Amino acid sequence: MNDIVSQKLTELVQNVKERKISSEEITKAFIDRSNKSKTLNSYITENFSAALQKAKKFDEKPNLDLKLPGIPIAVKDLFCTNGVRTTAGSKILNNFTPTYESTVTQNMWNDGAILLGKLNCDEFAMGSSNETSFFGNVQNPIDKDLVPGGSSGGSASALAANITPITIGTDTGGSIRQPASFTGTVGLKPTYGSCSRYGIVAFASSLDQAGPMSKNVKDCALLQEVISTYDSKDSTSIDFKRNNYSSELTKNIKGKKIGIPKEYRVDGMPKEIETLWSKGTQYLKNCGAEIVDISLPHTNYALPAYYIVAPAEASSNLARYDGVKYGFRSNGENLIDMYEKTRSEGFGDEVQRRIMIGTYVLSSGYYDAYYLKAQKVRKLIKNDFDEVYKKVDAILTPSTPSSAFKIGEKSNDPVSMYLNDIFTVPVNLAGLPAISIPAGVDAKGYPLGLQIIGKPFDEQNILNIAYAMEEKINFKNKITDWWIKWTMKIKNFWFLEKRIFTK
């Protein structure tokens, strides 16, 4: 049996079901691993002692029919967890403990999972590097000088460092897929309406979607099966027939038509990404798929449209943080003074920038010129996808225009930071499902991802394509492997020392 923390979710589940390993042993192993990886700063709030208690309780009377039996899982700190602090990476929610549970996390606990802790993220999920978090930046376990991506950076970092066997993130404009790509992991952004938004701290409500992040496609399918349910508590939740994604997973993608959009060949795209993309098409051909050249003519307008729609919705959603009802409050001389002080001290720079942009584009006089126009562009982008989906079953693109960048490299240049979302935001604007899978490394050995975009509600299809490609790609997160082996060596050395000492 593999070292516990390096096991894939499905291996752990199997081992629990065969009673080869207990929930307590698994939980202890991940806690131990987390304690040794503190410098990554993946956690905002640990829930270790409650997790251990739950694990012991599970072992006393294990229900082995559950899909995640006694499996400890850490989640992005954007999901409200009943009785456990939920900050959204912000000072303004530093002291907020919800009295209710998000539907997505509730689904996981109902299927036997145990909350290990809350993972770091960009403040209110606004960012592409996890550097906007009030709780500090997160390191990429591939190389500690690199960002893990964002906004689900803590989730991706924890997953790649084996701190959690699987995790969930949220994706408004790429926050699951981009960090997955930067850390050599898998991330699925489901169709809008597939996973309930109830109990997720809102950023941009027409774009936000929760989804699984995992070490391989099979684990991703299993978690998607658990979290995707219709929910009457979310008015945008959609009641459609969901697949049993993991048991229906197949590598047979023969005859599938996969589109390659010419507009994604952007200026200045590194040669390595171009090569990776071509390799991806070759793998698909080897699997019996047919490659079709397609055009998505409005792709260029997706990024500007996103950076109008998302801040507009954010400015409206974040109006609720006023220091009156909950969260941080800074005392003022009068009510208006209190509002102003609370919001300028409670929100970080990036969040304030978005609130200002959002308020501006929604203000009378500018609404038509910016917000309304962006919504029209959004519709054109959606139409582009509808048109090509008459000809193809899915689309293959790179996940990001570069590999992980250095901590601090883009933090003072918002536009260059926003450009990182170029391949991911069209998917959110059109409400489509898309998955990023690790597909290779650049010259420095840093992971690069490929993105498979599907038709609405066609998660099974993109999971299947990803599953088939995963086998051909046979990606090994070499640097992480090295990192893990090295820490294991230190651990073994310590055991040896201890034995000599006690003799």
Least Cα distance to 38 among 180, 144, 171 occurs for: 144
Contacts (CB under 6 A) with ligand GLN, residues 414-453: 421
Instruction: Find all residues with CB under 8 Å of 497, minimum gap 6, and list them.
Output: none
d(CA 366, CA 363): 6
CB of 172 to ligand GLN, least distance (A): 4
- Which one of the listed residues 175, 214, 237, 246 is annotated catalytic? 175
Least Cα distance to 202 among 290, 111, 310, 128 occurs for: 310
* Cis upstream peptide for 151 (omega within 30°): yes
Q: Is 214 a catalytic residue?
A: no
Q: Is position 31 an interface residue for ligand GLN (rule: CB under 6 A)?
A: no
Least Cα distance to 124 among 400, 320, 306, 350 occurs for: 350
- Which one of the listed residues 34, 54, 67, 76 is annotated catalytic? 76
CB of 119 to ligand GLN, least distance (A): 14
In the set 112, 174, 431, 447, which binds ligand GLN (CB under 6 A)?
Answer: 174
**Cα angle value 349/104/56 (rounded, 5°):** 110
CB of 24 to ligand GLN, least distance (A): 35
CB of 310 to ligand GLN, least distance (A): 5
Contacts (CB under 6 A) with ligand GLN, residues 317-346: none
Total chain residues near ligand GLN (CB under 6 A): 14
Instruction: Find all residues with CB under 8 Å of 288, minimum gap 6, and list them.
Output: 253, 254, 255, 256
In the set 70, 173, 193, 211, which binds ligand GLN (CB under 6 A)?
Answer: 173
Q: How far is CA 20 from CA 6, 12, 17, 219, 245, in A?
A: 16, 9, 8, 20, 26
Q: For the residues of 170-216, what is the DSSP string, one character each?
A: E-SSSTTHHHHHHHT-EEEEPPTTSS--TTBPPS-TTT--EEEEESS
**Residue keyed to tokens 């003074």:** 337
Nearer to ligand GLN, 68 or 176 (CB): 176
Nearer to ligand GLN, 54 or 410 (CB): 410
Q: Is position 313 an interface residue for ligand GLN (rule: CB under 6 A)?
A: no
Q: Is position 77 an interface residue for ligand GLN (rule: CB under 6 A)?
A: no
Least Cα distance to 200 among 176, 164, 166, 221 occurs for: 176
In the set 47, 130, 164, 172, which binds ligand GLN (CB under 6 A)?
Answer: 172
Q: Is 76 a catalytic residue?
A: yes
d(CA 313, CA 319): 10
Contacts (CB under 6 A) with ligand GLN, residues 119-138: 125-128
Q: Is position 24 an interface residue for ligand GLN (rule: CB under 6 A)?
A: no
Per-residue x/- marks for ligand GLN, 141-160, CB under 6 A?
----------x---------
In the set 101, 131, 171, 458, which binds ligand GLN (CB under 6 A)?
Answer: 171
Contacts (CB under 6 A) with ligand GLN, residues 178-207: 203
Q: How many Å is the Cα radius of gyration of the chain?
A: 22
Q: Is 151 a catalytic residue?
A: yes
- For 404, the 3-state DSSP assignment is coil
Q: For the residues of 302-325, what is the DSSP string, one character each?
A: HHHHHHHHHHHHHHHHGGG-SSSS
- Which one of the listed residues 151, 228, 399, 436 is annotated catalytic? 151
Q: Is position 219 an interface residue for ligand GLN (rule: CB under 6 A)?
A: no
Stretch that binds ligand GLN, among 91-99, 168-176, 326-334, 432-440 (CB under 6 A): 168-176
**Residues in contact with ligand GLN by the rule CB under 6 A:** 125-128, 151, 170-175, 203, 310, 421
Catalytic positions = 76, 151, 175
